[in-house]
């Protein structure tokens, strides 16, 4: 049963993949490409469990790469492969998810320090995330936390703690938008309110991570900037 919820927060901390943009086609293409170098990997299994996790952590866990230098080079190769394969063979490319355009119309002017109203905290590298956002015509906010900016990625709280810190706000006065259970756990651990999106995972998977609210996608959310923060209205699922 759906209901309408209104929240007043100092800032919004967005995940990127699966929240603002859909890069599924490129991620699938990249893993199939990497299977040529790592033939023992199970692409189907990886795709069901790797979302929301840093590329370096996925490559370490699934491909067995331990050497830090090799790991970094392979992570860069993987994320370049996402971009190059996302539009191959009739794939749709990196696309904007529902509701994002109207939200960005309101939030884009409020992305600047010293008092940004929103950030992006992603498990992707800065090079890849910047390119993906550019393709989707999403402006890059001044507070932009990427995989190389933290020593421990999601589900640890570090990305969202850093995002709140850089935005000059307390985590408990922020709301996190996430599509992946690991990302939900990261936001919860950081002490933020967490809104989960049903864009990439099932309700059961998201509920297990204990978000505060669940919505279909960002088309179920409206935002309005104020002098002190952001007012959000949610249509929960």
Active site residues: 15, 17
Give the C-alpha separation, 9 to 1, whole Å: 25
Tokens of 106: 């309101």
Neighbours of 144 (CB within 10 A): 19
Determine the Cα–Cα distance for residues 163 and 170; give it in Å rounded to an integer: 10
Q: At 215, list the tokens.
A: 């919505």
Report CA-CA distances (Å) from 138 to 84, 131, 135, 141: 19, 10, 8, 9
CA within 13 Å, CB half, 69: 0
Cα-to-chain-centroid distance, residue 32: 22
């Amino acid at each position: 049963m759906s209901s309408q919820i209104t929240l007043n927060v100092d800032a919004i901390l967005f995940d990127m993949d699966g929240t603002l943009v859909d890069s599924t086609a490129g991620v699938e293409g990249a893993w199939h490409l990497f299977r040529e170098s790592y033939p023992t990997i199970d692409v189907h299994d990886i795709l069901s469990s790797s979302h929301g996790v840093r590329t370096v952590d996925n490559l370490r866990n699934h491909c067995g790469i331990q050497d830090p230098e090799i790991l970094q080079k392979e992570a860069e190769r993987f994320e370049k492969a996402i971009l190059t394969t996302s539009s191959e063979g009739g794939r749709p490319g990196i696309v904007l998810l529902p509701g994002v355009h109207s939200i960005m119309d309101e939030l884009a002017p409020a992305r600047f320090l010293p008092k940004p109203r929103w950030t992006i905290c992603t498990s992707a590298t800065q090079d890849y995330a910047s390119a993906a956002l550019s393709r989707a015509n999403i402006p890059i906010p001044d507070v932009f936390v990427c995989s190389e900016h933290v020593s421990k990625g999601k589900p640890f709280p570090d990305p969202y703690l850093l995002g709140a810190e850089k935005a000059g706000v307390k985590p408990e006065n922020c709301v996190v938008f996430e599509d992946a259970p690991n990302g939900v756990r990261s936001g919860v651990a950081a002490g933020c309110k967490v809104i989960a999106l049903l864009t990439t995972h099932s309700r059961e998977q998201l509920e297990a991570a204990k978000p505060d609210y669940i919505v279909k996608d960002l088309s179920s959310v409206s935002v309005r900037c104020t002098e002190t923060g952001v007012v959000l209205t949610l249509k929960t699922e």
